[in-house]
Structure 1
Amino acid sequence: MTIREVEHEITAAAPAETVYRLIAEVENWPRIFPPTIHVEHAELEPGKERIQIWATANGEAKNWTSRRVLDPANLRIDFRQEVSTPPVAAMGGTWIIEPVSATQCRIRLLHDYRAVHDDPAHLEWIDQAVDRNSRSELAALRTNVERAHAEDALTFSFEDSVTVDGAAKDVYDFINEADLWEQRLPHVATVRLTEDTPGLQTLEMDTRARDGSVHTTKSYRVTFPHHRIAYKQVTLPALMTLHTGYWTFTETDTGVTASSQHTVVLNTANIARVLGDDATVADARAYVQQALSTNSRATLGHAKAYAEGRR
């Protein structure tokens, strides 16, 4: 049995502890790995976890499961695929983050793998794929952890909620059935919704702003009936470099609390062009939050009316 072991590394302009945290805390992955849509803990215990990952590959949305062992004291994370895809028979590896200075670190990515039937041609194919993917992943990771570290002050989250005198399933259905929003929501002009894999949606939508202009957006959505829908917007307005969020539907003693949560990173390069030369980061934050909240509250209001009408 031939087990290949390889290593790739890169240096990043961010503190080692910051980089470790960004990789260790999977809720950060949509920020630092552009293909990642959403990550969910399937199992979680001290120092160990099983995670389910939804991400795009060659423009298609996929999902898979990995196990990880976290060692924060040594800034080390071991990972192993639960089910490998031929010609890979098995694959795992390790992230090791080493401080270079207070503001720099070395990121090492180790892989170990073997090929189906120990086939030399398969092994060569995996060698090339791991080398190519590791180099591009580390380069993208360096760019994005440096950016995430620098943009902490530009990142913010907020939530809007309504109380619904109805069933969680009905509120969930209204948000899940986005293909009907064109008829149900006044601010939505057209919708294109596809769901080739159950629970994994691609949503393209043209929405009307209050000034009458129409904006096209594209998002990937991961659905968890009937309590949550997570999403990542991949076509972004000029004032954002990131927009992720989720809809939640929580049953209470008096009905359902339906909420829309957003996480945003502001794009400071476009503030003056969009809002004027005198506009500040605070102005941009207020503008973005108002725009997103206006649509969320409108959608939640219609979802509430729909669910209460079905009681």
Structure 2
Amino acid sequence: MSNSGVVKTEHAIDVAAGPRAVYDLVARAEDWPHLFPPTVHVETLDGGVRSERLRIWAFANGEVRTWTSRRTLDPEALRVTFRQEVSSAPVASMGGEWIVEAAPGGSRVVLLHDFTVVDDDPADREWVERAVDTNSSSELAALKAAAESLAAEPGTLLSFADHVDIAGTPEQVYDFLWQAGRWEERLPHVDRLVLTEPGENLQTVEMDTRAADGSVHTTKSVRVGFTPDRLVYKQVQVPPLMAAHTGRWTVRPTGDGVRATSHHTVVLRPERIRELLGPDATLDTARALVRGALGRNSTATLVLAKEAAERDGSR
């Protein structure tokens, strides 16, 4: 660490999983939203096996920021270096490295950062250092939990999709999905919804959703829009059975309309299954329950989007 100019930080953690498995989690940046609490979405802009450019949306001290980074991957040395190309103020420059090493019992992961702030402002420097410290600790803890739980039970990760074909335009369907402020009146399973828009093509949505058994679950999501064919989201407040939930809505043209698809990725919490679902419940029970509940709600939303688009189209 330095009192002026470049600030350098180092964080580390021991992981009870093999170095290659841990490195692979670090290398697959597209999986970060359901692995790392601060990360909302990662968009791959270009690149290949050894180098890639990413646009990242993530929390920094409670605020969602976005920046563009270039990463260099070294699978032989189990290292990933990164450098922001376009930073988000007050950061002037930011870079660092993930280092995965073999250690007794598994692996040791070291996360290095170096950064500067605009005009070397002391208050901004403290703000960024606090964000780096918070996010690094959170990401390393999450990496450890993910690597160890996936090594013990791969079935905790669940991904699936449902689609509906619609005789409408991409813009009609995207607008229905993006206009979450109207969901309380449009979607029967939504009891309450609070929408904020902290940035361009950025939303936070807090809502109470009613399940088939009548129970109500409160969730909070951050959503990033890519008009007119895709929006992605991450739940930052999830039901107790889940450790993470991310998803995306895609709208693809077909010969006579569009295919709207809801994609979900969920990380389950196996240690809560019997407590929440009963003494005879298993991981398969939890997977089926979550698949059914999320699939029903997303399909219901898509069916209503279909009705709205086709109703508008027939006028």
Q: Deviations over 1:254-275 (max 9, x none)?
A: 2101000111122222322332
1:51 paired to 2:46: no
Q: Deviations over 1:43-77 (max 9, x none)?
A: 22342111111112232222111111111121111
Q: Distance in 1 between matches of 2:5 and 2:196?
A: 42
Q: Deviations over 1:277-304 (max 9, x none)?
A: 1122111111111111111111010001
Alignment of 1:57-206 (within 5 A): 57-84=60-87, 89-100=92-103, 104-113=106-115, 129=130, 132-133=133-134, 134=136, 137-206=139-208
Measure how far apart 1:116 and its partner are.
6.0
Q: Distance in 1 between matches of 2:133 and 2:63?
A: 19
Measure how far apart 1:124 and its partner are.
8.3
Query: How many positions carry a matched residue from both structures?
Result: 309
Partner amino acid, structure 2, of 1:75: L
Partner amino acid, structure 1, of 2:30: E
Identical residues among aligned pairs (%): 50
Structure 1 partner of 2:265? 263
Task: Call closer, same or farther: CA 1:138–1:296 in 2, change over 3 Å.
Answer: closer
Q: Deviations over 1:125-163 (max 9, x none)?
A: 599659845556544543444345444221111110011
Partner amino acid, structure 1, of 2:186: R
Give the TM-score of the pair, scaled to structure 1: 0.88
1:280 paired to 2:276: no
1:25 paired to 2:19: no
Q: Distance in 1 between matches of 2:54 and 2:141?
A: 23
Task: Call closer, same or farther: CA 1:62–1:107 in 2, change over 3 Å.
Answer: same
Q: Deviations over 1:80-128 (max 9, x none)?
A: 1224567765332221211226x511212233445667x6968985996
Give the TM-score of the pair, scaled to structure 2: 0.87
Q: Distance in 1 between matches of 2:260 and 2:121?
A: 55
5+ unaligned residues in a row in structure 2: which ranges?
Answer: none
5+ unaligned residues in a row in structure 1: which ranges?
Answer: none
Correspondence for 1:215 among 214, 217, 221: 217
Please say if residues 92 and 116 of structure 2, whose CA atoms lie closer than 8 Å, have aligned partners that are also in contact: yes
Please say if residues 65 and 88 of structure 2, whose CA atoms lie closer than 8 Å, have aligned partners that are also in contact: no
Structure 2 partner of 1:12? 15
Please say if residues 116 and 122 of structure 1, whose CA atoms lie closer than 8 Å, have aligned partners that are also in contact: no
Superposed CA RMSD: 2.8
Task: Call closer, same or farther: CA 1:16–1:179 in 2, change over 3 Å.
Answer: same
